[in-house]
Amino acid sequence: MDITGDAGRNSMGQAVVNLRRIEYLAGLPQPEAEELARVSEFRRYTDGTPVFNQGEYLPGIFVVVQGSLKVFRTDGRGKIQVLDILQPGTCVGEVQVFDGGPAASGAEAHGDTECWLIPSEPLRRMVHRNTTVAEVIIHHFAGKVRHLIGLVETLSLHSVPERVAQLILDYHSRNAAKSLVEFHETQEDLAQCIGASREAFSRALRLLADLGLIQSTFPVVRILDLQKLQRYARG
């Protein structure tokens, strides 16, 4: 892992640009964005490098600017539930910043990954003195809650093929103009995202193909009938 500060190869101006691309920091006033950029650290991780472990106390929020982070929980016996695969512009660690508790999940680099680390204390001070920043943070937390509610519903109320169908639709929504979905994760990673085994994930792809909903040459999936796939995913 390589770490540099704002005085390193990325200037403060570039740091501001990167931080304002984050979904929940995009609404920050310019002075606050510059303040966070000044105290943030640029970090680089190689593929598979742990960023933090479940149960650790985090120094702040990790913001993905390149590559991705796999966020997961483990039962300590080898079973893993992937909570999210964070893409550029998203972040992790914000709950621990404000509740002071240990990390409820672990994270590792998924591919060569670059992050900004926003330290906890400067962000807390900013929230306490600026209601605009506080509203931005609250809005972000509401989105996180909605995401987790959707994850619980998916895992508890839907079959594995229905979960795979919804996963395909989620990836498709990132570029709805195309009928092709190209995954950058392995089947094992994607199966962990929906609480299934790799074998069950593979069988679900074959079933969806047999039903005429998709054509799969993994990692590329072509959606053949979007409306029917949507109905199938709903159960």
Residue 144 has pLDDT above 60, yes or no: yes
Residue 116 has pLDDT above 50, yes or no: yes
Q: What are 223's strand-pairing partners?
A: 214
Residue 22 has pLDDT above 60, yes or no: yes
The CATH number that domain 2-148 falls under is 2.60.120.10
- Return the DSSP state at 173: G
Question: Measured between alpha carbons, how far is 1 from 88 in angstroms, rounded to an integer?
Answer: 18
Question: What DSSP assignment string belongs to 119-131?
Answer: EHHHHHHHHHH-H
Contact 223, 214 (CB under 8 A): yes
Q: What are 34's strand-pairing partners?
A: none
Domains 2-148 and 158-234 alike in fold: no
Average pLDDT for the chain? 86
Domain segments of the chain: what residues? Answer: 2-148, 158-234
Residue 9 has pLDDT above 90, yes or no: no
117: its two tokens: 């680390």
pLDDT at position 76:
75
Topology of domain 158-234, CATH = Arc Repressor Mutant, subunit A (1.10.10)
Residue range 161-206, pLDDT digits in tens: 999 999 999 999 988 778 899 998 899 989 988 989 999 999 999 9
- Return the DSSP state at 22: S
Contact 60, 117 (CB under 8 A): yes
* Cβ-based neighbour number of residue 170 at 10 Å: 14
pLDDT at position 23:
65
Cα Rg for the chain, rounded, in angstroms?
19
Residue range 48-95, pLDDT digits in tens: 999 999 999 999 999 898 999 999 998 877 788 888 899 888 889 988
Phi, psi angle pair for 145, to nearest 5° = -60, -45
Contact 183, 171 (CB under 8 A): yes
